[in-house]
Amino acid sequence: MKDIIKTLTEISSPSGREDTIAEKIVEILDGNFDEYWRDKLGNLIVLKKGKTGKKVLLDAHMDEIGVVVTNIDENGFLRIEAVGGVNPYTLVGSRVRFQNNVVGVIGIEGESFRSSRENMKNLSFDVLFVDIGAKNKEDALKKVKIGSFGTYDASFHDLGDKLVSKAMDDRIGCAVMVQLLKELEEPLNDVYCVFAVQEEIGLVGATVAGYDIEPDVVIAIDVTAHGDTPKALKRIPMKLGDGPALKVMDAYSISDRKVLEFLEELAKKENIPYQIEILPFGGTDAAAYQRLKAGVPSATVSIVTRYVHTPSEMVDYNDVLNTVKLLKSFVNSEFLF
Amino acid sequence: MFLSELSTIAGVSGNESKVRDFIKKTIENKVDELYEDKMGNLIALKKSKTQSSKGRFAFFAHMDEVGFMVTRINEDGKLSIHPVGGVDARLLPGKRLKIGEKGTPGVVGLKAIHLQDNLDNVPSYQSLKVDIGVNKKSEAEKLVSVGDYAIFDVPFEEYSKHLIGKAFDDRGGCSLMMDLIFEDLKLPFDVYFAFVVQEEIGLRGSGVAAEEIKPDIAIVLETTTAGDNPELEEYKWATHIGDGPAITFMHRGYVVNKKVYEWIVDTAEKKGIKYQLKRRTAGGTDALSVSKRLFGIPAGVVSIPCRYIHSPSSVMYKDDYFDTLNLLKALLEEGEVILS
């Protein structure tokens, strides 16, 4: 499964520009589904039919955070703005890659030592620029346009149990669903896997993806924060390697109690390690599904991730495998939601 | 163009009836269907004669404008106010307002410059008081009530090719829709025009209208910030007056559907219509609320660039308005491509 994670994380597909990742997912799935389609906003929906007629919707978002070109000056330098939660500090000294694979280096303005220090102290996108090695504006325009989207330029590394890459958020969720679809023979319930668009800028895809499906239950699979590095957030218990995290609550949603308890019982029964997650900030697509039409019981299963929204997001491979196991068991369970 | 009439009508968010009545009266003989929904959105339909393309297309523009509300009548007869939508408090001192249904005149009080010892003080809504020429609460109560809306009292003016006035955001969009209704276009599909309410306080009307119309594709028509001020370096400008309609690729909370965005840009290119891309991503439009309704509605955004929006003196370049109108006409003629 590591090869799937590598392939999916290395693709550059920020919010609103998900065609590349969607095509790659369909290719890797290699026919392991009954049907697939892209809805009006571009969500990729993959269906594997079951026997009961109950509909389980699993969701992972396929977009990632990134940048967009907003200006190109006479000397060929680009100005960018964030697509989703990109911290400008993570850009300094690093590189971005545009969707056509043009790579640019991030530079920072500073006309004196004092202004350089000041710019660094109160860093904003206003003082950053991108150098794509262009001679001038005309030359730059051959490579990018205003409105070109890009992402961090970073590659996948296998550190053994730990895996590092950009865009683990949320390609790791996508990888879990891809692996699940490959492993499922004939599930008990209908399984709709939604690879959602535009999560990072406001749960856009997930707000509409369930409209025509009308699922009985939804599980969002996404990354969550960690508490196991030096002086990490001290009120957060989550650790890499302790298993899938069952989310009780974050800033956008409270997981449906029955679904949460069902997942917990299931993990105990199947001897799958798990941990309980409470996140005082952030949110997942579950928040959107929960309020769909007359409401859908929804919960989130998280993969604990270090350094979220940086070019080097780290997960534990065993957590990933155990998440696949737990969800596989879930879609094959009888339940009354 | 109906901007001179639309600009001077009072229609702060939640109180759009006068704008709605004017639009209704003007277009009622030019459309096939016209109704007002429960929230106050006005929805018009122009049917296609050929029906050569199935599907529904919708334009959205908001009728409401930013303004103020009277929150308290003080013992000395002066009024406390609160903004409805985003209005910079620094704009207010010394300005004239029209208050309530009767349009009672008022002046936002300020300390004369002779008495100021610190001109760096920034006014806030806590400190601003409106003077309506009375000195007692009981007298003020004869003229205004708590809950009355207020607007800047400014005329619409035109000099050389520039238009100046309040509420161009988004009466500019409303005027474009009215012009499109008056044009005798060969529509390949049915076109809905949604004049919506309460955009300025959180995109509240458009989603409801979208739910009723159920369009396959929507375009939100806006009047957007230029930000091409001389003190700003050019790369910080959002748009530039005179460079034509602004096409948005992304704004707060929504990346414009790629197909719709490229269709608008390609159409402008193909028809040789002047256009520019909006070069800042801050701020949102009704495209955010429309796109998230129902099964998802791909929505684009086309705006007339405008200086000093949300102030009493918005400045619009007349050619930008007509370039925008030409782009929209071209889109309707080419619309089949994207709806099929």
Over residues B46-99, the pLDDT tens digits come to: 999 888 888 899 999 999 999 999 999 999 999 999 999 999 999 999 999 999
Per the CB < 8 A criterion, the answer to whether B317 and B31 are in contact is no
The mean pLDDT value for A25-39 works out to: 97
Query: Per the structure block, which two tokens stand in for A46?
Result: 């993959």
Residues A182-219 as b/e (b if ≥16 CB within 10 A, e otherwise) read: eebeebbbbbbbbbbbbbbbbbbbbbbbbeebebbbbb
What is the model's pLDDT at position B54?
83
> What whole-number distance in Å separates Cα of residue A97 and Cα of residue A95?
7
d(CA B22, CA B24): 5
Q: How many CB pairs under 8 A join A and B?
A: 79
Residue B23: band (very low, low, confident or very high) from pLDDT cuts 50, 70, 90? very high
Q: Is A161:A242 a contact under the CB 8 Å cutoff?
A: no
Distances from the Cα of B293 to the Cαs of A293, B208, B282, B287, in angstroms? 11, 8, 22, 10
Cβ <8 Å between A204 and B295: no
- Interface touch A83/B255, C-beta < 8 Å: yes
Write down the pLDDT at residue B7.
98
Whole-complex ipTM: 0.93
DSSP-derived pairing of the beta strands A103-108 and A128-131: antiparallel
Task: Return the CA Rg of chain A.
Answer: 21
Contacts of A68 in chain B (CB under 8 A): 249-250, 281
The residues of B annotated as belonging to the active site are: 199
Q: What residues of B are in contact with residue A111 (Cβ under 8 Å)?
A: none
Q: Which helix (H) or strand (E) holds A25?
A: helix A19-29
Exposure class string for A45-73: b at 16+ Cβ within 10 A, else e: bbbbebeeebbbbbbbbbbbbbbbbbbbe
One DSSP character per residue, A66-90 reads EEEEEEE-TTS-EEEEEESS--HHH
Collapsing DSSP to helix, strand or coil, A209 comes out as helix
**Count of Cβ atoms closer than 10 Å to residue A269 Cβ:** 10
Residue A187: band (very low, low, confident or very high) from pLDDT cuts 50, 70, 90: very high
Q: Does the structure show a pLDDT above 80 at A172?
A: yes
Q: What is the mean pLDDT of chain B?
A: 95
Q: Give the tens place of pLDDT for each residue, A121-139.
A: 999 999 999 999 999 999 9
Residues in B touching A211 (Cβ below 8 Å): 294-296
The beta-carbon neighbor of B296 closest among A68, A70, A208 is A208
The residue behind tokens 């309460």 is B198
Q: Which of B232, B240, B247, B250 to mutate: most A Cβ within 10 Å?
A: B250
Query: Could you report the per-residue pLDDT of A53-70, keeping only the tens digit for each?
Result: 999 999 999 999 999 999
Query: Based on C-alpha coordinates, what's the Rg of chain B?
Result: 21
Q: What is the pTM of this model?
A: 0.95
pLDDT band, very low/low/confident/very high, at B340 (cuts 50, 70, 90): low
What distance in Å separates the CA atoms of residue B198 and residue B204, rounded to the nearest whole number? 5
> Which residues of B sit within 8 Å Cβ distance of A?
216, 234-236, 249-250, 252-258, 261, 277, 279-281, 288, 291-298
Rounded to whole angstroms, the Cα distance separating A181 from B51 reads 42
Which residue of B234, B251, B255, B260 to mutate against A (max A Cβ within 10 Å)? B255
pLDDT of A32 above 90: yes
Which residue is listed with tokens 């007002």? B36
Whether the pLDDT of residue B339 is over 80: the answer is no
Q: Checking DSSP bridges between strand A162-165 and strand A313-316, what pairing results, if any? A: antiparallel
Distance from CA of B340 to the nearest CA of A (A): 13
Q: Which CATH number fits domain B3-65+166-339: 3.40.47.10, 3.30.56.10, 3.40.630.10, 3.30.70.920?
A: 3.40.630.10
* Percentage of chain B modeled with pLDDT above 90: 88
β-pair type (B96-99, B79-84) = unpaired
- Share in percent of chain B as helix, strand, coil (round to 5): 30, 25, 45
Please, are residues B10 and B69 in contact by the beta-carbon 8 Å criterion?
no
Distances (CA, A) of A277 to A274, A304, B74: 10, 9, 52
- B235 closest CB neighbour out of A17, A41, A71: A71
pLDDT for B119: 78
Give the pLDDT confidence of B191-225 residue by residue, as tens digits: 999 999 999 999 999 999 999 999 999 999 999 99
Single-letter amino acid code for the residue at A227: G
Contact (CB<8Å) A42/B253 = no
User: Are the C-beta atoms of B194 and B178 separated by less than 8 Å?
Assistant: no
- Return the CATH class of domain B67-152: mainly beta
Question: What value does the mean pLDDT of chain A take?
Answer: 97
For residue B262, the chain A residue with the least C-alpha distance is A147
So what's the pLDDT on residue B118?
Answer: 80
Across the interface, whether the CB atoms of B250 and A83 are under 8 A apart is answered: yes
User: How is chain B split into domains, by residue range?
Assistant: 3-65+166-339, 67-152
CA distance B300 to B30: 25
Write the DSSP symbol of residue A253: -
Q: What is the pLDDT of residues B110-127, one digit of tens each?
A: 877 778 778 788 889 999
Contact B281 A39 (CB under 8 A): no
Percent of chain A with pLDDT over 90: 98
Taking alpha carbons only, the member of A196, A260, A187 closest to residue A222 is: A196
Count Cβ atoms below 10 Å from residue B102 Cβ, excluding itself: 10
Q: Please state, as a whole number, how many other Cβ atoms lie within 10 Å of the Cβ of residue B215.
A: 26
Cβ atoms of A63 and A9 within 8 Å: the answer is no
When CB atoms are compared, the residue of A40, A71, A79 closest to B296 is A40
What are the tens digits of pLDDT across the range B295-326? 999 999 999 999 999 999 999 999 999 999 99
Q: Å from B296 to nearest chain A CA? A: 5
Q: Do B236 and A68 touch (CB under 8 A)?
A: no
Number of separate helices (H) and strands (E) present in chain B: 8, 19
Q: Which residue of B has its CA nearest to A148?
A: B249
Confidence at residue A337, expressed as pLDDT on a 0 to 100 scale: 80
